[in-house]
Structure 1
Amino acid sequence: MLKKLSLSSLVSSVLFSSLAVAGQVPGRETDADIPVSHRDRIYAAEQFSNTVSVTDPADNRLLGVIRLGDPSPSSFSPLYHGQVLVHGLGFSPDHRTLAVVSIGSNSVTFIDTATNTVKHTTYLGRSPHEAFFTPDGKEVWVTIRGENYVSVIDAATFEEKTRITTAAGPGMQIFSTDGKYAYVCSSFNPETAIVEVASHKIIAKVKQDSPFCPNIAASPDGKQVWFTLKDTGRTTVFDARPPFGVIKSFETGPITNHVNFAKTSNGTFAYLTVGGLNQVKVFRTDDLSQVATIPVGNLPHGVWPSGDGSRVYVGLENADALAVIDTATNTVIGNVPIGQAPQAVVYVPNAVPTGDDGTRNLQELGVAGKVASLSLAEVGSSATRTSVALFDQGLSQVLQASVTGLKPKQPYVMALAKKADGSGALEPLANFMTNPAGSAVVNAVGPIRQVVQAEATDTRRYLVVAPIVEGKPGEPVQLQVATQ
């Protein structure tokens, strides 16, 4: 009887494997799919709470956070030793080490996935952005966006071994599935560099339609590379193999953020987060046609598929949450509360060894779970154009606004008005310049929640967006319309 059951299980396993479509990023198409289980983990890098949230995808449950630093104003102290602006994520090929980039403290922190403890912190040049292991696991490449190079770190010693000089502002790098090439897009210059991994030499360049690329991804079949352009709201697809020709460049929407792939029984699909529209757009990779638009929540940012391609997880930067997408229906089927302003998201199959619940050394969300949400609409309209999150830092908050619907390349100010219609003198919070798509991500710090949600009319203020006219705020063009 035992042998019969064993044989039956084996046949079922083989049948399941034949029906499933193998190979999810960052692995090869020929790699086996890994079904969702309690051994898997979803990690999100949270910029304003300086945490990494840890979620069990089997039941979409937040297990806790790895606290790498403190919220402001503690992080302003000259004696502060924690990390600041936790932002980028990558993981080792054996799924046992997480690489976490903190922009403000110029570091990459290596975390043991089984114990949630820090193995080592390596300090680098100004404003690193993303870190990824080479497919052989021997090196970790970190783009130093505030300078002009990729730092190559020895994965065994965690020490920098060499640098690859690029145009100023390398934004992110990703590797071909065979480990032969690295694709390094730029955040300051309109070019993506193709680097031969073995020699660390740039061998080709691909034109970007605009300078600001925040994210780049390689398809698991090794045929395509997709990169996003946040400033113009476009996406470019090019051939992953020589001569690396551009296949298509097309508009995807304001504040186009990250891109990733899910391979399913219906084909391979690219999932793009479009922050200004609060949507994820889904495209086929064979004919590049758009097949779905998924409303997900405020300012979607990072995106990563499960190990079997059945789910896609999206970090909602202005909602402090993970949205869970079912790739069979392209609908949101879950929402997980996490830390403040999630940026990069990675799904790590088999991150926790058998017999270990993987919750050791995790902490509760605490203040990292507190956020207030507002929205602004065009004057004379009920159509929401801007989402605002107020991330609690104690008595003060970090304000972050995803602003859209403005004139391109023009100066504006986010300000406080004494009246709901925006009339009267304005108290400026943050000046900003819109990008070519007429959008921007705007930040400010202060006790803002206390005044925009005050009950007393004499202290109540309202958020507005106004153009800068002759150096001063003009008439508001967007007004606060709702609180949540």
Structure 2
Amino acid sequence: MKRRLLATTLLTAGLLAGALLAAPARAGQAPASAQSPDIPLSHHDRVYAAEQFSNTVSVTDPADNRLLGVIRLGDPQPRNLSPLYRGQVLVHGMGFSPDHRTLAVVSVGSNSVTFVDTATNAVKHTTYVGRSPHEAFFTPDGKEVWVTIRGEDYVAVLDGKSFEEKTRIKVPAGPGMQIFSPDGKYGYVCSSFNPETVVISVADHRIVGRVKQASPFCPDIAATPDGRQVWLTQKDVGKVVVFDARPPFTVLKILDTGPITNHVNIAHNAKGSFAYVTIGGASEVKVYRTDDFSQVATIPVGSLPHGLWPSGDGSRIYVGLENADALAAIDTLTNQVVATIPIGQAPQAVTYVPNAVPEGDGRTGLQPLGTAGAAAHFLLADATGGAADAKAPTSVTLFDQGLSQVLQASVTGLEPKRPYVLALAAKPDGSGPLQPLAAFTANPRGAAIVNALGPIRQIVQGEDEAPRHYLVIASVTDGRPGAPVQVQAR
């Protein structure tokens, strides 16, 4: 009897030990805690991208990196200019609920948060909020949704079930993005108009800390799953600020990352914990260790990388390519792009939702990409010729809206804080009279995002028997265009 009991005890201990060895590593990916188990990549997962000019949300299966379709939240121009238009405009920000069943999609132009069922792709509710909201995310307990109202000076707090606004948290004007500590104790809200991030107690909505930013313009912020650090991007000066996630919220490091530094997110794998940062002006993603802040990789990904998010097991990072209408998948162990997936126009925020579709193929309600993927692409090079192998400093995408296009230029290589004009020239070298499209001022890194609207593709490609014109960037002196500094390369 004692031998049988001993054998049973040993067998049970062996089974328990085996189970512990087989259990998933607890390396939890953002925004979950490091104590949460990783979720292996599967066909139940989904990658979502908010697409600003087609007003769609693309839905991708990461198991085979295949676009399944789009959720159409609105129409492109000119249909969305009607006073009777009821869809969404400038689909931009995105978050998801802790149970992975609901997306929160922010549309900047229609001041709305659209809540979408991840299993059915159906809109569950739309909440209209203040002027120009930017991002939305659920608190870790799912009880609230915080929406940064960037066009004003507060965070709108919505009920996590009814999705109705229940209160507001006063913050410095222009709140850009919020994220929460993994334990749900703090909300970190950076600013797009003031050089200050505030730390808010989630329990009572009171500001309990303030962190100096490197500049007034922060578009994105991320917290590490271990609860130790917060990383935020500074788009205008091309930097990333890292501060202690716990009181007194001391700045730990300021990294010089590059022009048009867009979004940051955290991934943990067998090699450690890493911050991935999209550098829009360089068309790259830079990778930094979170323990010593050393840079370990620079990954070319495609034109104007913007939002990014890790898979549930940290094996991949998905990156929206704003001027390429595409989603890039990066293997985090090799830091190589393993797939590029065509999606909608000008992807902004990206989220990866593990187990978003527990059953079925998750295609209900999805529509084909269609014209949402139509665009033309150009490069502008140094007008003086420069080095033959020099990288073109400016990329231009013309997002098709029917007869007209939305032009978006990702401009670099200019003198900081100087005025310029994006224009049309009759000659390839930019000489002669110019027809201005958009005036702008280069940011402190000599970069800018420039937009214009019109039948521009037909003009620069010489369609419809019209004389061909060429895109140029010229300096401005005393309000008048001067000599071109960049000209259309192709």
Return the TM-score normalized by structure 2.
0.95
- CA-CA distance at 1:156 after TM superposition: 1.1
Return the match for 1:122 from 127, 138, 141.
Answer: 127
- CA-CA distance at 1:12 after TM superposition: 8.2
Distance 1:15 1:474 in 2: 69
The aligned counterpart of 2:315 is 310
Deviations 1:313-362 (A, max 9, x none): 000000000000000100001000000000000000000022x1100000
Do structure 1's residue 92 and structure 2's residue 97 form an aligned pair? Answer: yes
Pairs within 5 Å for 1:163-242 = 163-242=168-247
Distance 2:433 2:464 in 1: 19
Distance 1:264 1:449 in 2: 44
- CA-CA distance at 1:481 after TM superposition: 0.4
Q: Conserved in 2, the CA contact under 8 Å of 1:52 and 1:66?
A: yes
The aligned counterpart of 1:350 is 355
The aligned counterpart of 2:441 is 433
Q: Conserved in 1, the CA contact under 8 Å of 2:261 and 2:279?
A: yes
Alignment partner of 1:477: what SS?
Answer: strand
Distance 2:397 2:279 in 1: 17
Alignment partner of 2:29: what SS?
Answer: coil
Alignment partner of 2:246: what SS?
Answer: coil
Distance 1:102 1:203 in 2: 29
Q: Conserved in 2, the CA contact under 8 Å of 1:417 and 1:463?
A: yes
Deviations 1:103-153 (A, max 9, x none): 000000000001000000000000000000000000000000000000000
Return the match for 1:421 from 416, 424, 429.
Answer: 429
Distance 1:27 1:332 in 2: 25
Distance 1:62 1:417 in 2: 38
Pairs within 5 Å for 1:5-24 = 15=21, 17=23, 20=25, 22-24=27-29
The aligned counterpart of 2:8 is none
Alignment partner of 2:459: what SS?
Answer: helix
- CA-CA distance at 1:294 after TM superposition: 0.1
- CA-CA distance at 1:246 after TM superposition: 0.2
The aligned counterpart of 1:386 is 394
Deviations 1:187-209 (A, max 9, x none): 00000000000010001100001
Do structure 1's residue 334 and structure 2's residue 334 form an aligned pair? Answer: no
Q: Conserved in 1, the CA contact under 8 Å of 2:52 and 2:345?
A: yes
Do structure 1's residue 403 and structure 2's residue 407 form an aligned pair? Answer: no
Distance 1:253 1:13 in 2: 46
Distance 2:439 2:284 in 1: 26
The aligned counterpart of 2:380 is 376
The aligned counterpart of 1:148 is 153
* Count of residue correspondences: 473
Distance 1:282 1:17 in 2: 28
- CA-CA distance at 1:15 after TM superposition: 4.1
Alignment partner of 1:450: what SS?
Answer: helix
The aligned counterpart of 1:361 is 365
* Paired AA for residue 287 in structure 1: D
Do structure 1's residue 137 and structure 2's residue 142 form an aligned pair? Answer: yes
Distance 1:10 1:103 in 2: 52
Distance 1:38 1:16 in 2: 22
Give the % identical residues: 71
Distance 2:169 2:39 in 1: 34
- CA-CA distance at 1:17 after TM superposition: 3.7
The aligned counterpart of 1:76 is 81
Do structure 1's residue 301 and structure 2's residue 306 form an aligned pair? Answer: yes
Return the match for 1:282 from 280, 287, 292.
Answer: 287
List runs of 5+ in structure 2 lacking aligned partners: 1-13
Q: 1:9 to 1:302 in 2, by over 3 A?
A: farther
Q: 1:40 to 1:385 in 2, by over 3 A?
A: same
Deviations 1:148-181 (A, max 9, x none): 0000000111110100001110000000000000
* Paired AA for residue 373 in structure 2: G
Q: Conserved in 2, the CA contact under 8 Å of 1:100 and 1:109?
A: yes
Alignment partner of 2:28: what SS?
Answer: coil
Aligned Cα RMSD in Å?
1.5
Q: Conserved in 2, the CA contact under 8 Å of 1:21 and 1:263?
A: no
Distance 1:459 1:306 in 2: 49
Distance 2:22 2:485 in 1: 56
* Paired AA for residue 197 in structure 1: V
Alignment partner of 2:183: what SS?
Answer: coil
Distance 2:430 2:362 in 1: 51
Alignment partner of 2:483: what SS?
Answer: coil
* Paired AA for residue 480 in structure 2: K
Deviations 1:218-272 (A, max 9, x none): 0000000000000100000000000100001121000000000110111000000
Distance 2:196 2:101 in 1: 33
Alignment partner of 2:489: what SS?
Answer: strand
Distance 1:328 1:113 in 2: 29
The aligned counterpart of 1:466 is 474
Return the TM-score normalized by structure 1.
0.96
- CA-CA distance at 1:387 after TM superposition: 0.5
* Paired AA for residue 433 in structure 1: T
